[in-house]
Amino acid sequence: MFNYLSGTLAQIGKDYVVLDNRGIGWQLYVPTTVSARLQTVGKEIKLFTYLLVREDDLQLYGFLSAEDLLLFKMLLSVSGVGPKAALGVLSTFSALDFYMSVMNEDIRALTRVPGIGPKSAKRLVVELKDKVTALGTAGPVAVTIYPAEISPQPFQDAMQALLALGYNGTEAQSALQNISGRETMSTEQLLRSALSQLGSK
């Protein structure tokens, strides 16, 4: 129903914010990382949204990025995980860190989330690992799964540039991961090396 809302930040609560959009105050439940970053009432903001419909209630959730919204929806698909636990995940992890914990089956890391014990953490891994893997192979990818040793930002920027040039997600990620010394490279260096590989095929 809603994809995003933009407007003026009117209020910041512990687990929610109020967004003034043309005189209407929208209350959105958010991860604590969002409320911590939005420290200035009166500034213009944009939040990606999810509307949860229940028999006796409507609740709106807000996120600073489409990637966080995607993760929230994915978490709700796991049996036994509700919006409170999903917000707990996003309050504890960045989307990238959570995906890497699932890929690495790091149960100990996942139990850092309030309310997530070892059994719930194992269920997250079992039910989400294939979905997380698919994020890195679909093209264009909404979320890129990075090797643990790579600095995400240059890798992400190079990935997005390759996708914009028409390469699919699998081709682009494979080329970038085959670059020797990629850990210390800038976006431009990664892009040049990847294009050299792709152009020789």
User: What are the domain boundaries of the chain?
Assistant: 4-63, 66-135, 152-199
* pLDDT given at position 62: 96
3-class DSSP state for residue 65? coil
* pLDDT given at position 1: 63
Cα separation, 51 vs 29, whole angstroms: 10
* pLDDT given at position 139: 40
Beta bridge partners of 103: none
Cα separation, 167 vs 173, whole angstroms: 10
User: Does residue 112 contact residue 98 with C-beta atoms inside 8 Å?
Assistant: no
* pLDDT given at position 42: 93
E strand residue ranges, the chain: 4-12, 16-21, 24-29, 44-54, 57-63
Cα separation, 9 vs 101, whole angstroms: 33
Fold of 152-199: Helicase, Ruva Protein; domain 3 (1.10.8)
Cα separation, 85 vs 91, whole angstroms: 10
Q: Tell me the angle at which helices 83-92 and 66-76 cross, rounded to the nearest 10 degrees.
A: 140
pLDDT tens over the chain, length 201 residues: 678 999 999 999 989 999 999 999 999 999 999 988 887 899 999 999 999 998 888 999 999 988 899 999 999 999 989 999 999 999 999 887 898 888 889 999 999 999 899 999 999 999 998 888 777 544 434 455 555 444 557 777 787 778 777 777 677 777 887 888 877 888 888 888 888 888 765
CATH of 66-135, one of 1.10.150.20, 2.40.50.420, 3.40.50.2300, 3.40.50.970: 1.10.150.20
Fold of 4-63: OB fold (Dihydrolipoamide Acetyltransferase, E2P) (2.40.50)
User: Does residue 169 contact residue 140 with C-beta atoms inside 8 Å?
Assistant: yes
Domains 66-135 and 152-199 share a fold: no
